[in-house]
Every structure is written in C-alpha cells, then in structure tokens.
Amino acid sequence: MQTIAYPKEQLHRTAYTKLTEAQIAAKLAGAAPKSVSPLSEVFAGKQLRIVTDNGPTLSYRFASKNRLSVAESDGRAVEAGYGALTLDDVTLFSHLVPGTQRGYHVVVDRASNLACVFEVWFSGFTDNREVQREIYFGYVAEAGKQAPTARHSLTNRVEGKGFHWTQDTGVETLELYPSTFYSNFVELSRLGGELGFCAPTDYVKIDDELYVYSRVECEFSGVQTLYVFDANRAEQVGVRLGFDASDALEYYVFTGRGEWVGQLAQFERFGDTAATPMPPPANGQPLAKGARRVYRPMRNNWQMTKEEVAALTEKAVFGPPSPMAGNKGPVSDYLVGKQLTLRFDNGVAAEYRFDAIDTLHWRRPGDSAWHEERYEAWESAPGVVMFGHLLTGAPQNDCYKLVADFDHGLVTCIHGTIGSQYIANEAQAETWFGVIEMAGMTPPKYRRHQFTDELVGHAVTWNYSPGLTSMHLYTTPHSLSWIIFGDSGAGGMEWSGPASYVKIRDELYLAYWLEEACNGTLGTILVNLRTMHDCGIGYHCGKDGLRLSAMGAHARHAGRFDIAKYYRLKA
C-alpha cells in the first residue's frame, strides 16, 4: 500500500482552473473557517474596536466562539462566521465579509493591545483565485486609554530561519525563510516532499519571539497560508485560505507544532533589522493596494512552439562572456591531446579526440566519421575536469555536460535535451554514470559517482560578477532554490526548480537544476567546497537561439538547515 501521496502533477505543472468571479463568489458564500482543534473562546461575548493606521477601523462583536459581527469604519455591521486560535497572549481570528470576496485575518496581542490586520480578497488579479492581501498595523482601542504608539512591523528578523511544521490537520511541511519577502515550502505530506517551491511572503514582528508569516502561492493555486509562530517553542496558529488543485475551498484555522531546523546567515549590514520595503513605482504614484513583488516567469513570453524550435538556426557555444561567468576560472588545456572513450552504464558510449583547448571530435564506437564541436573545460580539482559540448545534428539539440575524474577513471554525464512534454523549448536532463577508458587507465567495474543528499539543506552564495550575487538553497534531494540579494544584502526574489546532486569527491559535487516553467534553462555546476569556486555550463533555448555558455562564481557558506532526514524513505 502506497504511503506517500505523490501528485499527478507538481505545482509548477498543474493547470489550475481560471476561476471566474462568479464561481469564486459561489464557493465563498456562507464560508467560515473550519478547525480540527477546538476554537478559542477568548473573545466570545466581547467587543473589540481595532484602529489601523492607514486602513479601516474594525468594530467587532463576538457573539460566540464562531459568530461575530463586524463593521468596517463607518459601514453597517454584518454577521459572519469566524474562527479564532490563541498562542499565549496572541489571538488570530479570521472571517470573510458576507456578500463580498473579502475577509480579514486579524492578529491581536492582548498583552500590548497591538493588532495586525491582513485584509484579503479574491478577484484582484488576472488569476481571480490568487489571494490578494494588504497589511494594516494598529491597536485595540480602549475607552479612556490613550492609543499606544508602538506597532507591529514588517521585519527581516525571520530571514534565515526554517522549521518543520506539523499541523493539527496532519499536514506536514518544511518552511524555510531565506529571504525578506519570499519563502520556500516543501509539502511533505500533500505532495510527497519531492520538490521545494517559493512564494511571496510577508514577515511581521510581534516581538522578539513571535512573528507572523504569510505566503500566497502565486503562479500556483493562489492559496494563502498565514500563521503566528513562536520561534523559541516552534508552535504556530494559522489560517489557510484559497482554492486547491481541484478548486475546492480551503478555509481553515490550524494549530501546529514544529522543529527548528536551522538558521542561515544574513548578509545585511550589522544593525540592519529593517524589512525590505516594496519600492514605490517609478512614476511617483503611491503603491497600489496589495502591491507585492512577485516573480511570474510564465508570463514573460519566452515559450516557443515545436516549429519555432525546429526552425532555430542561431547557436552560441561558449560565445561572448555573460554576467554569469564574470568569476569563472581559467579554461583548462588538461584534455588537449588526449584520446579516450567515455562509456556509460546505460549503454551509451562516445569516443573523444581533443585537438585543441576549444575543439574536440567525438563519434560513436563503430562509426568512422568524427563530429567536431566547440568545447570549454575547467579543472576544478586536480584530475577532475568539467567540460561540455553540443551534439550537432542531434534530434533534440542535445548537449553533454561531463565531469571526468582522471584519478579514479570515473565520469558522469548530464545529458541535456530541449523540449519537455509541457514546453517545446524547455531543457530536460538525464544523469548517466560511467567510466573513462583510455591508454594507461583501468577503470573500476563497480564503483561509480553517486547521487547524494549531502548538499541538502545547505545554502551557498554565488557571486557571478559585480552586482550579480545569488544564493543557492539546496532544498530537497530533487530541487534547488535560488535567491537574489537586494542592494542591502537582504534576500529578495526567489524561485526554484527540479535539481539533482552527484558526489564526485569529498567536498566536490555536481549539481544541475532545471528552470522548468521558468525560462527553460538547464544549469549545471561543479561545486568545489574547498576552493569555494564553481565551474559550470548553462544550456538554454530561446527565441535568440540555442546557447551553451560558461558559468563561474565565487562561493560563501551561508549556513545549513538540518532537513535531509525528512526526505529519507523509512519503513
């Protein structure tokens, strides 16, 4: 009996229904949050008046633990169902506004009387199902008392943290916060934990231990997950609102317990504890309500048809330097003059003749004709050479990216092809293990390079060239996330893709990632954690042609999450 529920399609491949406003309205009618845990009665029978700085004043009457009435500013009071949960002095409650596609998630710190209000709504973007939000900071007004001057605030103090969460619903996730306005989530129980994904995220500081986390799965289902969490005790109370892959409404409050899994480095200046505010529009206009930074790669019009790919004639093979190669290492002549055969366990073999530092010839065993290709090679560690080339004339614009260890007679090939079942110009990859056959070398019969999870959880920064630095977060054994730093050094925009990791030697790893449903690139790097330098090859098919290009960056360790254990198969 299968124990892990894998989805038929991962989030980035799911064709979510374009729900209409009318469909959403129908699904929201009369909705109130469900809860597995007992709802809090802390406000039952009470009234609250929440004043926000730049938003509405919300006047509540809580009739019971699940019914309230709310008046927005000077508006008429309306009744709604709600759910509340508490974490010590902090209460989170959530409700919709009947007859609308709006609602509120409200966080009240009863000790300080400060409040943080998330107004949420549907049908505010091209994808109606994507939850929109605006955050208001304020306080609970009390008769005869002066309004407090303190406020909850956006913060970078959550940046670098990570937790394994188990909700009272049984839902199990890994949630990693390597950015100040994005986060990673790995759905361990919902999706089997194969891939990590990213979503725009708000981080609000209540105090030094308590924070609010709110992400919206933009470009996927559009669902929102918001929770208050205690960083010390790893406890949470939260709410989930949105529509799942089958368009069913998910609206529930939850409690959860977690495990702190680590802390990554922060790269802001010492003393900088501010959030990374959303920059105002260049035209001087104020930010639109709900504005947030979202990476929406599938809306960049980079996709091509099969016919367009077939008609491509432009090729750039290790052409002009790109910003991704500003710190690449020297090209190696290690291979020049060598003749050898690379024989892989899947039966594929290729004979090579390296004529020059940038020119090789290859052929299949038994063929008489040689194919000439342009290549580049780098010797990352003594005797370990990475090189790559196109296979001119191959049916899918194939490329080989190879790491050959001449000290041990081993080779691993990342075989790249263009075209997936989803997008015609999206790269795909296979990993082949094999051996080097050449004069004077007897390769091993059984030993091979191997897939590894040793990098899982590690974060490494990569400085490619001036102004261009990212951080890799190796989120699962099968995915990788990249985070772009802002000018202050704060983690910013983030995305992720399927990936794979092969151990070449101690502290030497071959990794690839596929920018699936992103821009189609296959990135491949040989990570040397002794020199803290990589070499690598990008492979991309776009409207400007097919490109095989060098990559190279200087690395820094940025910390590690202890998460590999969550991916291992257990009895």
Partner 1 sequence: MKGTTRRKFFGGAAALAAPLAAGTAVASDDLAARLAVLEDSSAIRTLLLHWARDVNAGKITAPAPNVRSLTLDADAAIAVDANGTATARVPCTVETVTPIGGNETLVEMARLQGDGVVRRAERLALHSTFVKRDGFWHVANAELRT
d(CA 197, CA 560): 18
Q: How far is the CB of 538 from partner 1 (least distance, A)?
A: 7
CB nearer partner 1, residue 144 or residue 466: 466
Nearest residue to 391 via CA among 342, 433, 439, 434: 342
Side-chain half-sphere CA neighbours of 389 within 13 A = 22
Q: How far is the CB of 259 from partner 1 (least distance, A)?
A: 31
CB nearer partner 1, residue 506 or residue 544: 544
CB nearer partner 1, residue 173 or residue 428: 428
Q: How far is CA 332 from the centre of its chain?
A: 34
CB nearer partner 1, residue 170 or residue 466: 466
Residue 560 tokens read as: 């590690």
Q: How far is the CB of 365 from partner 1 (least distance, A)?
A: 37
Q: How far is the CB of 298 from partner 1 (least distance, A)?
A: 13
CB nearer partner 1, residue 293 or residue 364: 293
Q: How far is the CB of 121 from partner 1 (least distance, A)?
A: 24
Q: How far is the CB of 470 from partner 1 (least distance, A)?
A: 5
* In contact, 540 and 427? CB cutoff 8 Å: yes
Q: How far is the CB of 549 from partner 1 (least distance, A)?
A: 9
d(CA 204, CA 185): 18
Q: How far is CA 116 from the centre of its chain?
A: 26
Q: How far is the CB of 496 from partner 1 (least distance, A)?
A: 11
Q: How far is the CB of 455 from partner 1 (least distance, A)?
A: 19
Task: Report, in this order, helix, strand and coil percent for the chain, each rounded to 5.
Answer: 5, 50, 45
Q: How far is the CB of 154 from partner 1 (least distance, A)?
A: 15
Specify whether the backbone of 345 is left (phi greater than 0), alpha (psi in -120 to 50) or beta: alpha
Residues that bind partner 1 (CB under 8 A): 279, 293, 295, 297, 300, 322-324, 464-468, 470, 482, 484-487, 492-493, 495, 515, 518-519, 521, 538, 542, 544
Residue 179 tokens read as: 């950015």
d(CA 300, CA 294): 13
Q: How far is the CB of 297 from partner 1 (least distance, A)?
A: 8
CB nearer partner 1, residue 411 or residue 551: 551
Q: How far is the CB of 390 from partner 1 (least distance, A)?
A: 19
Nearest residue to 453 via CA among 312, 566, 306: 566
Residue type, 544: D
CB nearer partner 1, residue 245 or residue 468: 468
Q: How far is the CB of 540 from partner 1 (least distance, A)?
A: 8
DSSP per residue, 105-140: EEEEETTTTEEEEEEEESSSSSSTTSPEEEEEEEEE
DSSP conformational letter for 177: E
Strand order in the sheet with 399-405: 371-374, 359-363, 349-354, 339-344, 427-437, 410-418, 399-405, 384-390, 376-381
What H or E segment, with its residue span, contains residue 24? helix 21-28
d(CA 333, CA 139): 68
174 to 114, 182, 559, 560: CA distances (angstroms)? 29, 14, 16, 14
Helices (H), 233-350: 306-310
Q: How far is the CB of 420 from partner 1 (least distance, A)?
A: 17
DSSP E strand stretches across 19-126: 34-35, 47-52, 57-62, 67-72, 78-87, 90-96, 102-109, 114-121
DSSP conformational letter for 460: E
Burial 383-409 (b: 16+ CB within 10 A, else e): ebbbbbbbbeeeeebbbbbbbbbbebb
Q: How far is the CB of 276 from partner 1 (least distance, A)?
A: 8
CB nearer partner 1, residue 354 or residue 485: 485
CB nearer partner 1, residue 51 or residue 517: 517
What H or E segment, with its residue span, contains residue 25? helix 21-28
For 83, other C-beta atoms within 10 Å of its C-beta total 22
Residue 338 tokens read as: 């060598």
CB nearer partner 1, residue 112 or residue 463: 463
* In contact, 471 and 462? CB cutoff 8 Å: yes
